[in-house]
Amino acid sequence: VFNTYGPLGNSELVLRYGFFEEDNPHDAVTLYHHDLRDALDELIREAVHAEPSGGIASCHVLPHPSTVSRNQPITTWEVCAADPQPSPDILKAIRELFVGIASRRCLRSSGTRSFEYKDDALQLKKRPRGNQSDRITAKKVLSRVCEQRLEKCSSTIEVTSPSGHGEDDTSLHRRLLADHVVGAERKALSALLAWCRCEPGHT
């Protein structure tokens, strides 16, 4: 008798059925719309050397999602470790964020500097010279998402690590399951980060 649970990564297998597979080829990570916004927010602040006072991209620049599309926007996407190339929907969402920022003439706390959307990238215009620009590409945004999420994964692993006291079988099993959930996400995030850095257009 054979049974299959479908092409599920360890995160889903643990949450749904309470077990995991070693070297699961279907390990994946869920990216959220707020991941893209947070990463872009950080890149913008670095570009304009602004203080992180509430988040420029999330609070002062981006239009409300209802103004971007008449339909309910897709807010989550799956990225598989075996094939980390981001879907067109993710890239479209990043472009919409770029367009929303470029539609504003000036960012608060950035003086006369503003952004323009050109050649699939967000470029910072620096005045009065006007001949220098900092490019923020979709791959840079995704790279920053991976870096931020990987840092959170590391923090989670530290929290779930044993404290040096003896563990009973139940606690040990729960910790192993949690480690594999986090490990599945790290695997997919690392694959996406490697894809972003290897593909042309990252810089």
Amino acid residing at 55? G
Q: Distances from the Cα of 96 to the Cαs of 101, 144, 157, in angstroms?
A: 9, 18, 34
Reported as a pLDDT band with limits 50, 70 and 90, residue 69 is very low
Answer whether residue 60 shows pLDDT above 70: no
Distance, in Å, from the CA atom of 36 to the CA atom of 178, rounded to the nearest integer, reads 25
Segment among 2-6, 52-56, 153-157 with least mean pLDDT = 52-56
